[in-house]
């Protein structure tokens, strides 16, 4: 009897626990989860509201564009649907929409919403707010981060005089606003297309779809004004034109030559980040040529531009061009790229000239290159500042170039064990290919690496025979004055 009562109590207890968790799961499911498999296949008809700002959007329905939810990250969809379920507007915006329309795979997905950063954070436990002037919400899903930005406002009022700094650069306040105001704060028309999760349509306020179809990069608003607001837009204009294969609008080209010097006032750390995007996108050579065409490259790497302007026998232009071609080839093959290697080619001519001057002053070879490298790097970081480890790596690559000629004894073996030998060797091959180094020397090092132990000893021994022997006999000290030798 006691055992039966105990059994009944255990069953009731389990049933109570089961009902408790069932209620919790049901509430959580109703509030948070969105089943992607149960989403409607046909978009509901939504009539766009009239804007108070005078901007009337063109809405492209699902049947009028090629973006499918299957192309969108599941995590991005979760963010969009969560915001929608919380009663906020939510759009995919920027480069991800542009790339999806081109059939490309977006690097990341950005979301724009009328929810404030604090409201976004309240909707997602896996959210962190960043930024000071303009706060952004980062929603974390493992390694993938979905960036959520609140619609940006116009900042300064239309009647108020625009704020200008001492260098003539326009300043704008960062404030929250409406989607119409957010559109006007974006840079290019093809980057101002909004994918609406409510009806899967694309909302276009500035003719971005027409420019997209025409393959045209065009700024929103007056080009010169937008360049003065943020001079980095000139660099971004070149990067997107090359990356997408689009043409630059004629109205955007002329102001570049007039306000390009504003890039000199941009923080060097920011220009370094932009330069990496320029030259590590897989189209480095085309980007380099367009930057020089518009006179922008000189503000990124002034010493390289100076060397290019006085080139002799296509050097150092051929060295830089070949390095850019190799970079594009490696990226196309899915191989890794070391940024310091490409930057070292930009600055090599200045380092070599500085080292030659130091050698003429009687400095040892290694010291001459060290002093030249320090001088060139200290000047370069004023334009594009790079991390210390990049500068150290470039010093190694440059310094090892003079050591390749010294191969007798154990020097070849020691150089082979250097951590940056492979990068320095590739740099030597590049120089030899473009006429800046002895091809026979580069071939010797290529053979030396592949030769076995016996082969390496034989190669070094043949070199030792060709070097003149040093006279190791010590000179006899002269006898002291007043001392006679027996």
The DSSP secondary-structure symbol of 11 reads H
Instruction: Summarize the confidence of residues 181-203 as an average pLDDT.
Output: 95
Establish whether 187 is a catalytic residue. Answer: yes
224-283, pLDDT tens digit by residue? 999 999 999 999 999 999 999 999 999 999 999 999 999 999 999 999 999 999 999 999
First vs last Cα of the chain: how many Å apart? 128
CATH number of the domain encompassing residue 160: 3.30.460.10
Q: What's the whole-number average pLDDT of the chain?
A: 85
Instruction: Summarize the confidence of residues 157-162 as an average pLDDT.
Output: 49
**Domain coverage including residue 180:** 51-220
Asked, for residue 149, whether it belongs to a domain, the answer is yes
Tokens of 93: 């915006």
- Which of 108, 165, 222, 356 is catalytic? The answer is 108
What's residue 317's pLDDT? 81
Confidence category of residue 25, pLDDT binned at 50, 70, 90: very low
Q: In the chain, how many domains are there?
A: 2
Residue corresponding to tokens 């120089």: 431
- Which of 74, 99, 156, 187 is catalytic? The answer is 187
The answer to whether the beta carbons of residues 251 and 211 sit under 8 Å apart is: no
Question: What is the separation of C-alpha 117 from the centre of its chain, rounded to a whole number of angstroms?
Answer: 26
Asked, for residue 285, whether it belongs to a domain, the answer is no
Confidence category of residue 419, pLDDT binned at 50, 70, 90: very high
What is the rounded CA–CA span in Å between residue 58 and residue 210?
11
CATH number of the domain encompassing residue 413: 1.10.3090.10
Q: Is the domain of 177 the same as that of 321?
A: no
Q: Is the domain of 56 the same as that of 195?
A: yes
The answer to whether the beta carbons of residues 385 and 272 sit under 8 Å apart is: yes
The answer to whether the beta carbons of residues 221 and 205 sit under 8 Å apart is: no
Least confident range from 42-51, 206-215, 429-438, 443-452: namely 42-51
Instruction: Summarize the confidence of residues 94-118 as an average pLDDT.
Output: 94
- Which of 110, 182, 249, 349 is catalytic? The answer is 110
Asked, for residue 249, whether it belongs to a domain, the answer is no
Q: Is the domain of 76 the same as that of 206?
A: yes
Least confident range from 14-28, 99-113, 168-182, 418-432: namely 14-28
Establish whether 204 is a catalytic residue. Answer: no
What's residue 153's pLDDT? 86
Instruction: Summarize the confidence of residues 378-389 as an average pLDDT.
Output: 94
Cα separations (Å) of 392 from 319, 344, 401, 418?
21, 11, 15, 14
Question: What residues contact residue 356 under an 8 Å CB cut-off, 6+ apart?
Answer: 368
Q: Is the domain of 216 the same as that of 334?
A: no
What's residue 35's pLDDT? 40
Q: Is the domain of 191 the same as that of 340?
A: no
What's residue 250's pLDDT? 94
Residue 316, preceding bond cis, omega within 30 degrees?
yes
The answer to whether the beta carbons of residues 276 and 228 sit under 8 Å apart is: no
Asked, for residue 481, whether it belongs to a domain, the answer is no
What is the rounded CA–CA span in Å between residue 195 and residue 314?
49
Give yes or no for residue 389 having a pLDDT over 60. yes
pTM of the model: 0.78
Establish whether 210 is a catalytic residue. Answer: no
Question: What is the separation of C-alpha 424 from the centre of its chain, rounded to a whole number of angstroms?
Answer: 24
256-267, pLDDT tens digit by residue? 999 999 999 999
What's residue 46's pLDDT? 36
Confidence category of residue 49, pLDDT binned at 50, 70, 90: very low
Helix (H, G, I), strand (E, B) or coil at 337: coil
Asked, for residue 90, whether it belongs to a domain, the answer is yes
Instruction: Summarize the confidence of residues 68-93 as an average pLDDT.
Output: 96
Asked, for residue 28, whether it belongs to a domain, the answer is no
Asked, for residue 345, whether it belongs to a domain, the answer is yes
């Amino acid at each position: 009897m006691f055992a039966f009562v105990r059994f009944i109590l255990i069953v009731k207890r389990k049933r109570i626990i089961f009902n408790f968790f069932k209620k919790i799961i049901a509430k959580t499911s109703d509030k948070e989860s969105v089943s992607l498999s149960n989403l409607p296949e046909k978009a509901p008809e939504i009539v766009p509201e009239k804007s108070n700002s005078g901007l009337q959007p063109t809405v492209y329905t699902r049947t009028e564009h090629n973006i499918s939810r299957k192309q969108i990250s599941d995590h991005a969809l979760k963010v969009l649907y969560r915001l929608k379920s919380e009663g906020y507007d939510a759009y995919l915006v920027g480069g991800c929409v542009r790339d999806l329309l081109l059939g490309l795979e977006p690097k990341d997905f950005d979301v724009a919403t009328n929810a404030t950063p604090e409201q976004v954070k309240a909707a997602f436990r896996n959210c962190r707010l960043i930024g000071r002037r303009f706060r952004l919400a980062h929603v974390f899903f493992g390694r993938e981060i979905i960036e959520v930005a609140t619609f940006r406002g116009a900042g300064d009022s239309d009647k108020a005089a625009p704020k200008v700094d001492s260098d003539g650069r326009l300043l704008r306040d960062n404030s929250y606003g409406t989607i119409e105001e957010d559109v006007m704060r974006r840079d290019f028309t093809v980057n101002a297309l909004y994918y609406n999760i409510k009806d899967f349509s694309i909302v276009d306020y500035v003719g971005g779809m027409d420019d997209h179809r025409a393959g045209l990069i065009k700024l929103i608003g007056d080009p010169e004004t937008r360049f003065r607001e943020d001079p980095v837009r000139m660099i971004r204009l070149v990067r997107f034109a090359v990356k997408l294969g689009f043409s630059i609008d004629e109205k955007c080209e002329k102001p570049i030559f007039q306000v390009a010097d504003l890039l000199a006032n941009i923080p060097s750390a920011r220009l370094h980040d932009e330069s990496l995007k320029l030259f590590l996108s897989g189209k480095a050579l085309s980007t380099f040529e367009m930057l020089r065409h518009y006179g922008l490259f000189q503000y990124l790497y002034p010493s390289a531009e100076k060397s290019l302007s006085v080139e002799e026998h296509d050097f150092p232009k051929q060295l830089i061009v070949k390095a850019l071609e190799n970079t594009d080839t490696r990226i196309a093959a899915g191989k890794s790229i070391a940024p310091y290697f490409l930057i070292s080619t930009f600055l090599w001519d200045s380092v070599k000239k500085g080292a030659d001057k130091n050698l003429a002053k009687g400095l040892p070879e290694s010291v001459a290159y060290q002093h030249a490298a320090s001088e060139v790097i200290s000047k370069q970081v004023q334009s594009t500042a790079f991390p210390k480890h990049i500068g150290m790596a470039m010093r190694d690559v440059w310094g090892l170039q003079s050591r390749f000629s010294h191969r007798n004894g154990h020097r070849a073996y020691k150089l082979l064990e250097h951590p940056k030998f492979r990068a320095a060797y590739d740099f030597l091959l590049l120089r030899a290919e473009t006429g800046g180094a002895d091809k026979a020397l580069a071939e010797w090092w290529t053979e030396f690496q592949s030769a076995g132990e016996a082969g390496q000893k034989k190669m070094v021994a043949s070199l030792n025979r060709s070097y003149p022997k040093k006279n190791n006999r010590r000179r006899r000290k002269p006898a002291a004055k007043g001392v006679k030798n027996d």
